[in-house]
């Protein structure tokens, strides 16, 4: 369980507590609680090998984000991109904590060295990870501040800017740094289909960077890691403006509701957020691990954040889900220790 990230905990709870997957509600999986319709793919999609060049979906992404195709790499989830970048540039890596633990795992996997800091000032590293909005704090760094941070880095430090949760920020266009790859040749901006579209199993993401960085990444990338079915859906989803509005409406509404309800519970302290999850501190005698276990036995999963560097055994992370699911969590929390 140590190395599992939030989204994977469902498999752990399913096996450990013998609860059918479909009866588990995971507040640790910070993806949208709804997803777009899934029309059955035409048979030829299933019967053929994928287009190795990913022609159509590259066009869709390039147009949607107004970024040249030469500055684009497609990967099997941003996890693949995190590992690729760590392999090529991660010899000496700086990581501002608390943040997503997979960065450290990827760097370690390729024999790189990670150092952890409480700020973003440059530390003579080959690679720096910046998660914006940050997981698990839910905090967004505003564009002006981020540009100020980027300016301080020497050009030989690659900066991996993970925008996995940017889709949940209202006015995201004014915060995303996708356009800034023109100005910062050491910048890699990573985005994913997993979160807003609520379908992480499709494994699809993309990165924007200078031509030089993209070419280095492509040299090390395995071919055909993105399957035909994924491309078929991604092409449709990324052109569907209506769906985005629907999710954002739901998240905004439920976020307010869940924040209010969690705040009513006197033994929890909820941090404000810019996205679709909350970092919460437990104020009574329970540890995050205690609460995780009690809820998991009831088929509810929260993220115990005690293994995240920079946090402690009192921190949990809770995603915003549907009204019914959020109400269920609140009901169970009140049953455990009252208001
Ligand atoms: C900050 C962050 N980046 C990247 C990922 C990986 O996302 P995916 O590989 O599904 O694109 C996650 C997943 O939880 C995440 O929290």
The verdict on the CB of residue 192 being under 6 Å from ligand 1 is: yes
- Name which of 236, 238, 227 is nearest 51 in CA terms: 227
In-domain check, residue 126: yes
Does the structure show a pLDDT above 70 at 1?
A: no
261-268 mean pLDDT? 98
Number of structural domains (the chain) is: 2
For residue 202, what is the DSSP state? G
CA–centroid distance, residue 214 to ligand 1 (Å)? 20
Q: Tell me: do 214 and 259 sit in the same domain.
A: no
Do 29 and 169 have their domain in common?
A: no
Q: pTM for this one?
A: 0.97
Rounded to the nearest angstrom, the distance between the alpha carbon of 178 and the centre of ligand 1 is 17
Does 7 contact ligand 1 (Cβ within 6 A)?
A: yes
**Cβ of 262 less than 6 Å from ligand 1:** no
d(CA 292, CA 4) in angstroms, rounded, equals 14
Q: Are residues 210 and 265 in the same domain?
A: no
Q: Which atom of ligand 1 is nearest to the CA of 81?
A: 9
Question: 87 is written with which tokens?
Answer: 């392999």
What is the C-alpha separation between 298 and 303, in angstroms, rounded? 15
| 58 and 155 part of one domain | yes
Alpha-carbon span 244 to 203, nearest angstrom: 19
Atom of ligand 1 nearest to the CA of 99: 1
Residue 1 placed within a domain: no
> For position 173, what pLDDT does the model report?
87
**Do 107 and 211 have their domain in common?**
yes
Domain membership of residue 190 (yes or no) is yes
Q: Is the domain of 68 the same as that of 216?
A: yes
Cβ–Cβ < 8 Å for 102, 82: yes
Q: Quickly tell me which residue has 């807003």 as its tokens.
A: 196
On whether the CB atoms of residues 303 and 297 are closer than 8 A, the answer is no
List the CATH number of the domain containing 322. Answer: 3.90.1150.10
Ligand 1: nearest atom to the Cα of 203: 10
Residue 145's CB is within 10 A of a number of other CB atoms, namely 12
- Confidence band of 4 (pLDDT split at 50, 70, 90): confident
Averaged pLDDT for residues 287-296 = 97
Same domain? 72 vs 132: yes
- In a shared domain, residues 229 and 309: no
Distances (CA, A) of 27 to 194, 277, 326: 15, 9, 9
Verify whether ligand 1 is closer than 6 Å to residue 136 (CB atom).
no
Note whether residue 210 is domain-resident: yes
Judge if the beta carbon of residue 135 lies within 6 A of ligand 1.
Answer: yes
Q: Which two tokens stand for residue 94?
A: 């700086």
Q: How confident is the model at residue 335 (pLDDT cuts 50, 70, 90)?
A: very high
The pLDDT assigned to 338 comes to 84
- Please indicate whether residue 164, judged by its CB atom, sits closer than 6 Å to ligand 1: yes
Say what the pLDDT of residue 102 is: 96
Q: pLDDT of 10-62, one tens digit each?
A: 999 999 999 999 999 999 999 999 999 999 999 999 999 999 999 999 999 99
Residue 170 to residue 73: CA distance in whole angstroms: 26
pLDDT of residue 8: 86
Phi first, then psi: what are they for 176, rounded to 5°? Answer: -65, 145
Alpha carbon distance 249, 230 (integer Å): 25
Q: Which atom of ligand 1 is nearest to the CA of 100?
A: 1
Evaluate whether residue 264 is within a structural domain. Answer: yes
SS (H, E, C) 102-155: HHHHHHHHCCCEEEEECCCCCCCCCEEEEECCCCCCCCCCCHHHHHHHHHHCCC
Q: Is the CB of 29 under 6 A from ligand 1?
A: no
Task: For residue 279, list its beta bridge partners.
Answer: 317
Give CA–CA dist 158/155, Å, rounded.
Answer: 7
Decide whether any atom of ligand 1 lies within 6 Å of the 133 Cβ: no
Query: If pLDDT is split at 50, 70 and 90, which confidence band does 103 have?
Result: very high
Q: Is 72 a residue whose pLDDT tops 70?
A: yes
Q: Is residue 237 over pLDDT 70?
A: yes
Domain with 315, as residue range(s), is 6-36+242-337
CATH of the domain at 185: 3.40.640.10
16 and 128, same domain (yes or no):
no
**Whether residue 76 has its Cβ less than 6 Å from ligand 1:** no
Q: Is the pLDDT of residue 187 over 90?
A: yes
Residues 23 and 47 in one domain: no
191 lines ligand 1 (CB under 6 A): no
Position 75 in a domain: yes
Please state, in angstroms and as integers, the Cα–Cα distance from residue 224 to each residue in 51, 74, 189, 209, 232, following that order: 8, 10, 21, 20, 14
Show which of 204, 237, 270 is a domain's final residue.
Answer: 237
> What separation in Å is there between the alpha carbon of 338 and the centre of ligand 1?
34
Residue 7's pLDDT band, with cuts at 50, 70 and 90, is confident
Single residue among 203, 237, 271 that ends a domain in this structure: 237
Ligand 1 contacts CB of residue 79 (under 6 A): yes
Cβ atoms 13, 30 nearer than 8 A: no
What pLDDT score does 75 carry? 98
Whether residues 145 and 60 fall in one domain: yes
Q: Are residues 173 and 204 in the same domain?
A: yes
Task: Look over the chain and give the mean of its residue pLDDT values, rounded to a whole number.
Answer: 96
Give the Cα separation of 209 and 139 in Å (integer). Answer: 24
DSSP-derived secondary structure letter, 7: G
Cα 177 to averaged position of ligand 1 atoms, centre (Å): 17
- Domain final position from 206, 237, 268: 237
Ligand 1 centroid vs 229 CA: distance in angstroms? Answer: 20
- How many angstroms is it from 266 CA to the middle of ligand 1? 31
For the chain, report the end-to-end CA distance as a whole number of angstroms: 30
Q: Is 205 in the pocket of ligand 1 (CB under 6 A)?
A: yes
User: What confidence tier does 2 reach under pLDDT thresholds 50, 70, 90?
Assistant: low
Which residues pair with residue 72 across a beta bridge? 208
Residue 96 within any structural domain of the chain = yes
């Amino acid at each position: 369980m140590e190395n599992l990230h939030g989204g994977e905990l469902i498999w752990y709870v399913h096996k450990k507590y013998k609860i059918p997957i479909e009866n588990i509600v995971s507040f640790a999986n910070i993806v949208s609680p709804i997803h777009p319709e899934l029309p059955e793919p035409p048979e030829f999609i299933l019967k053929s090998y994928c287009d190795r060049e990913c022609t159509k979906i590259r066009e869709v992404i390039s147009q949607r984000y107004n970024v040249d195709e030469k500055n684009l790499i497609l990967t099997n989830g941003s996890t693949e991109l995190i590992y690729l970048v760590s392999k090529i540039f991660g010899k000496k890596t700086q990581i501002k904590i608390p943040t997503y633990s997979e960065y450290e795992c990827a760097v370690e996997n390729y024999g790189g060295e990670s150092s952890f800091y409480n700020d973003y000032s440059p530390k003579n590293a080959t690679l720096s990870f910046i998660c914006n909005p940050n997981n698990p704090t839910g905090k967004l760094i505003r564009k002006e501040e981020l540009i100020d941070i980027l300016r301080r880095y020497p050009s030989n430090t690659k900066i991996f800017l993970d925008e996995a949760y940017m889709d949940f920020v209202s006015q995201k266009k004014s915060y995303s740094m996708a356009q800034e790859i023109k100005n910062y040749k050491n910048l890699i901006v990573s985005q994913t289909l997993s979160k807003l579209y609520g379908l992480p199993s499709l494994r699809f993401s993309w990165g924007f960077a200078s031509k030089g960085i993209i070419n280095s990444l492509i040299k090390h990338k395995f071919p055909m890691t993105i399957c035909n079915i994924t491309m078929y859906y991604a092409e449709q989803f990324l052109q569907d403006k209506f769906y985005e509005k629907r999710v954002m409406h739901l998240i905004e509404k439920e976020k307010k509701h869940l924040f209010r309800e969690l705040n009513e519970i006197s033994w929890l302290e909820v941090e404000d957020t810019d996205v679709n999850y909350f970092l919460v501190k437990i104020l009574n005698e329970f540890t995050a691990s205690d609460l995780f276990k009690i809820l998991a036995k009831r088929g509810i999963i929260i993220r115990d954040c005690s293994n995240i560097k920079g946090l402690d055994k009192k921190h949990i992370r809770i995603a915003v889900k549907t009204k019914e699911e959020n109400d269920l969590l609140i009901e169970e929390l009140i049953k455990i220790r009252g208001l």
